[in-house]
Amino acid sequence: MPKKFIKKYMPDHQTIKEHKHLKIFGRLLHDANLWHLNRRSVSGAFAVGLFCAFVPIPSQMILAAAVAIIVRVNLPISVALVWISNPITMSPIFYAAYKFGAYLMGQELIEKDYELTLEWFSSQLDLIWQPFLLGCFLFGLISAIIGFFSIRLLWRLHIIKHLKERRERKQRNKNEA
């Protein structure tokens, strides 16, 4: 993965350090490892961000930031990836997680009078919480693993391509001399 491309879209360190929700981490945000762009940091950030995106709690950004700080991976990428589950995508993602969890547990889906509202959810919570949480956990785990290894692979392929191009340039320069 080209560092220039990632840096182009990353927010400024100071902007993140001053973000109202992330101020609770105080001096922990000054750790240089949270801002590095290397294969380990970025792939770990993808794993953290993708896993936290499927955790069905409010303030997933704070959870992603806390985990990124603990495991010392790129903080902005971890926090940004949480937005995969946003107000538009949250309903279909969580419904799919519930269906997946119910399928794995061998339970029938509760689809009568289905509405994805807070009232419906709270009235059905005692029936759906286990398959819902199982589905969310597995979606998060699977996406974290796929994201981690995909970024590692893409980063490695980029390095191999870069080294090959450099070798070819050296060979051309040697032949021209």
126-147, pLDDT tens digit by residue? 788 899 999 999 999 999 999 9
**CA 118/CA 11 separation, integer angstroms:** 34
Least confident of 104-113, 124-133, 148-157, 164-173: 104-113
Cα 50 from Cα 60, distance rounded (Å): 11
Tens of pLDDT, residue by residue over 146-159, are: 999 999 999 999 99
Tell me the C-alpha distance between 79 and 116, whole Å: 26
Going from N- to C-terminal start, the domains of the chain cover 3-176
User: What is the spatial distance between Cα 19 and Cα 3, in angstroms, rounded to a whole number?
Assistant: 24
Handedness of CA 141, 142, 145, 150 (dihedral sign): negative
pLDDT single digits (tens) 79-101: 999 999 988 988 889 889 989 99
User: Residue 33: CA atoms inside 13 Å, Cβ hemisphere, count?
Assistant: 11
How far apart CA 43 and CA 14 sit, in angstroms, is 23
pLDDT value at residue 31: 74
Quote the pLDDT of residue 28.
74
Q: What is the pTM of this model?
A: 0.78
